[in-house]
Amino acid sequence: MRLTDRILKDIRYYEIKPKDFTGDFNGLIGNVYQITDDTNSIGQRIARKLNECEFISGEFDHIYINFTENLKSGNLVESEKFLDKRIKYVDYGIEPKTFNSLTEFEKNQLVKDVTFKSLTLLFEKDNKKIEKIIEVQNLLNKFETEIEIAYKTKETHSYKIEIGYMINPKKTLSKIVVKYFDKKNDIQNITTRNLYFYEDIFYLVDKIEVKNGKIIFTHKKTSLGEITTAKYEKPIEIEITEMERNNTHY
C-alpha cells in the first residue's frame, strides 16, 4: 500500500484549552465540554464503518476533531496543527457553555453532524468518497448505536458465517455479532457475545471452524493476542442449535 492509500482507522474528539482554564488538562474531550457516555463511540462507529468499506483517506488514517471556543461558533476548518502525517486535525468552534447546555440527545446529534461535516470538508473534491460518507451517514441514522460493522466471513457449500461487531450498542458492552446461514435448510441464525473493548475482536476471532455442531473461534497466537484475550474464556464456542432465528439482515 502506498503512503497516500491509507484506509481510515479512527476518529477521535479533543478540546482546545480555554484561556481561563485552571487545573490538569490532557486535551481529551471531557474536561471542558461535558460529553455523553456515547460521544467517543460515535467517532469509532463512523470510522470503523468507513474502514469496512476500505475508505481511503490518503496519507492520514486518523482524524482528530478539536472543539474550541477560539473559532466563531459553528465554524469548521482544517487545522494548521501538525504532529504526525498520519493524523489530520479539524477545528470546530463552539462555546463550552453552549455545548454543556444541550441535552444528551442534542449533544450526540451535534457530534454526529460535526463528524460528517468534517469528513465532507476533508473529501469535498472526491465525489465517490462523498457518496460513501453519505451512505454511512444514512446507515448510522437508521441503525443508530446498533449499526453493525463487518469483520470476517467463512463460506462453504453448506453454510456461511458472517462475523461483525457493534460498538457499545444502547450504552452496553460492545458485541461480537455472529450470523450462521444454513444453506441446505435455508435457515439464518444469530447470536452475540460481549466484548470489553470493540478492538478485542481483532484478536479473539482469528480462525473460524465448524465442528460437532459448534462454531469455534481461535484467537491470535501472538504476544499481543495472548495479552488482549487473557480476560476471555477461549476458544469461544457457539452451539448452533442455541442460536436465535434471524429474520432481519442488511
pLDDT digits (tens, 9 = 90+) for 72-82: 999 999 998 88
User: Percent of the chain, pLDDT > 70?
Assistant: 98
d(CA 98, CA 180): 47
Q: What is the mean pLDDT of the chain?
A: 95
pLDDT exceeds 50 at position 1: no
Give residue 3's pLDDT band: very low, low, confident or very high (50, 70, 90): low
Work out the average pLDDT over 45-53: 98
How is the chain split into domains, by residue range?
A: 6-144, 148-245
pTM above 0.85, yes or no: yes
Question: What ranges in 4-145 are assigned the alpha helix state H?
Answer: 39-52, 96-100, 104-123, 127-143
User: Percent of the chain, pLDDT > 90?
Assistant: 90
Q: How far is CA 238 from CA 95, 189, 226, in A?
A: 49, 11, 21
pLDDT digits (tens, 9 = 90+) for 138-172: 999 999 999 999 999 999 999 999 999 999 999 99
pLDDT digits (tens, 9 = 90+) for 97-141: 999 999 999 999 999 999 999 999 999 999 999 999 999 999 999
Work out the average pLDDT over 225-245: 96
β-pairing, 10-15 vs 244-245, is unpaired
